[in-house]
Amino acid sequence: MAIFSFLFSKHLDKSILVISIVVSVLLLGLEEDSKMTTVRVVSSFLLAPVEKMEKNFIDIARLQQENDKLREIVAALYYERGKLLQFESEKKRMRKLLNFRMDSYYRFLPCEVISMSSNRFYHSVTIDRGSGDGVVRGMPVSGYRGIAGRVTQVFPSSARVLLISNKSLPVSCRDGRSRVVGILKWDRGNLFTLDYVGSEEDVMVGDTLLTSGLGKVFPRGFQVGVVYQAKKVEGRISKNVRVVSMVDLGRLEELFVIMSGEKWDYREIMRELEELKSDAE
Amino acid sequence: MKENIFYIVRIFFVSIVAFILQITVVNGRWPGGGSPDLLFVIVLLLVLDKGPVTAVVVGFLLGFFQDLGNASFLGMNALANSIVAYAVSRLGRDYLPDTIIFRISLFFMAYLVKSIIILNITEAFSPIRVISFFFRYSFLSALYTAVIAIFVWKLIELVSERVVRPGGGY
């Protein structure tokens, strides 16, 4: 204690000088590798703020590049949107001339899966929206990429959705390219077979299947799956068509209840888009 | 506490600026082969009005900072600066009068002492080589360093209207 008092109270300046000399000599006596490591560690510590600043500048440059790219995409999309609007009004006029029913557009009610069926062969999920949100029995349900199932039971704040992998829910599909119609039936996992397709009918690997709208179980035009195998079987009148679903039915988290179709009103959609835009801003 | 942090941050930034100037502008552009040591100028000016403890710590840290540029002699400038800063602080505060002549002599001698320590380390205590380098480069470098130190010292005085006095305080 007396030594400490002597060193660090009475002769603090000399003690500090001796300590710094000893440390310097120790540093000088270090192996070359240890010196390099020490320099690297200290330099990286001292230069960390500079590197961070440099990284921020790089990020800004990257964001500017990304922004430029996005501007290009937006410009292209605006052009495309303009063209689509023209097509839309043209199609509307044609349908009117031919006395077709007017197209519908759908409202999507987002919901989350709150439970999955305990019975692995029952293939259903429960969602967190119910009659209180306007969900009605029979409403189709889709995932981000395509049809997932159909509401079969409705409770005040939840609903049960029977998935398309349930054997009792066959889906009438149409080949997006050749317009061939078949019935989709679950095989295993996310794999299905497309039944009732004649052996001479034009179904190819890579074709996208859409809901046909026949029977009014599912609305028309929603993606269901992609054909990954299509081959003729010797001696059979139907083709063996295998399909993988668009939606991963084993990992459903967010779904959309497709509310009843409404008449396509361009102005209303634009108003909704404007609202969304102003909300985002 | 807040003032101390500002003081440390200020030293850090001034040192970085001096270090950058030293390696980009100052090195190798002076007649006679020698060149001033800007970081050493900073050390000298910082320790003049501080006690020996602060002087040793500042000298060691800035010397160590200088050593980061040359890993082979890590600790060399830290050692030399600690000893010289201690001596300058003691002499400048307690013994030498506050005039330009004494001040320039102090800075000049300080650099020579530092130079002797460094040459002994880099030339592995070989007397002939140490003396040869000492007379070839150190005198001129010491002169340049002392002149720049005085110039900066006076500049600081003019700008801040404060006098850096030996014996502490402004």
Contact A124, A167 (CB under 8 A): no
Rounded alpha-carbon distances, angstroms, from residue B65 to A23, B114, B119: 14, 16, 19
Span A163-174, pLDDT tens digits = 998 888 889 999
**Judgement on whether residues A180 and A95 belong to the same structural domain of the protein:** no
Contacts by B13-18, CB closer than 8 A, 24 or more apart: B14/B42, B15/B39, B15/B42, B15/B62, B15/B65, B18/B42
- Tell me if B53 and A16 make a contact (CB, 8 A cut-off): yes
Task: Tell me the average pLDDT across A104-110.
Answer: 78
* Nearest CB partner across the interface for A24, out of B65, B72, B75: B75
Query: Does some domain include residue A271?
Result: no
Q: Is B79 on the interface with A (CB under 8 A)?
A: yes
pLDDT at residue B73, as a whole number: 86
Contact A193, A242 (CB under 8 A): yes
pLDDT at residue A101, as a whole number: 59
> For strand A181-188 and strand A171-175, is the pairing parallel, antiparallel, or unpaired?
antiparallel
- The count of CB pairs under 8 A between chains A and B is 68
Query: Does some domain include residue A138?
Result: yes
**Judgement on whether residues A205 and A216 belong to the same structural domain of the protein:** yes
**Judgement on whether residues A74 and A121 belong to the same structural domain of the protein:** no
Q: For residues A267 and A251, give the distance between their C-alpha atoms in angstroms, rounded to a whole number.
A: 37
Query: Does some domain include residue A172?
Result: yes
- Tell me if A28 and B73 make a contact (CB, 8 A cut-off): yes
CATH number of the domain located at residue range(s) B2-160 in this protein: 1.10.1760.20
**Judgement on whether residues A98 and A113 belong to the same structural domain of the protein:** no
Q: Which helix (H) or strand (E) segment is A109 a member of?
A: strand A108-116
**Judgement on whether residues A158 and A252 belong to the same structural domain of the protein:** yes
**Judgement on whether residues A115 and A175 belong to the same structural domain of the protein:** yes
Span B125-164, pLDDT tens digits = 888 888 888 888 888 888 888 888 888 888 887 777 655 5
Question: What single DSSP character describes residue A137?
Answer: T
Q: Tell me the pTM.
A: 0.48
Query: Does some domain include residue A67?
Result: yes
How many beta carbons lie within 10 A of that of residue A9, not counting itself? Answer: 9
**CATH value at residue A174:** 2.40.10.340
**Residue matched to tokens 């890579």:** A206
Closest CA to A240 of A193, A182, A202, A181: A193
Burial of A264 (0-12, 13-18, 19+ CB in 10 A): middle
**Judgement on whether residues A91 and A128 belong to the same structural domain of the protein:** no
Q: Which amino acid is at A206?
A: G
Span A135-163, pLDDT tens digits = 988 889 998 888 999 998 899 999 999 99
- Tell me if A28 and B121 make a contact (CB, 8 A cut-off): yes
SS3 A237: coil
Interface residues from chain A to B (CB-CB < 8 Å): 12-13, 16-17, 20-21, 23-28, 30, 32, 35-36, 38-39, 42-43, 46
**Judgement on whether residues A148 and A196 belong to the same structural domain of the protein:** yes
Please calculate the CA angle B137-B141-B146 and round it to the nearest 5 degrees.
155
- Tell me if A20 and B71 make a contact (CB, 8 A cut-off): no
Q: Is the pLDDT of residue A226 over 90?
A: yes
Range of the domain at A61: 31-103
Number of domains in chain A: 2
**Judgement on whether residues A120 and A180 belong to the same structural domain of the protein:** yes
Query: Does some domain include residue A17?
Result: no
- Tell me if B75 and A21 make a contact (CB, 8 A cut-off): no
**Judgement on whether residues A119 and A61 belong to the same structural domain of the protein:** no
Q: To the nearest whole angstrom, how far is the Cα of A45 from the nearest Cα of chain B?
A: 12
DSSP letter string, A168-218: T--EEEEETTT--EEEEEEEETTEEEEES-BTTS---TTPEEEE--GGGSS
**Judgement on whether residues A60 and A111 belong to the same structural domain of the protein:** no
- Tell me if A28 and B75 make a contact (CB, 8 A cut-off): yes
**Judgement on whether residues A66 and A144 belong to the same structural domain of the protein:** no
Query: Does some domain include residue A97?
Result: yes
Q: To the nearest whole angstrom, how far is the Cα of B107 from the nearest Cα of chain A?
A: 20
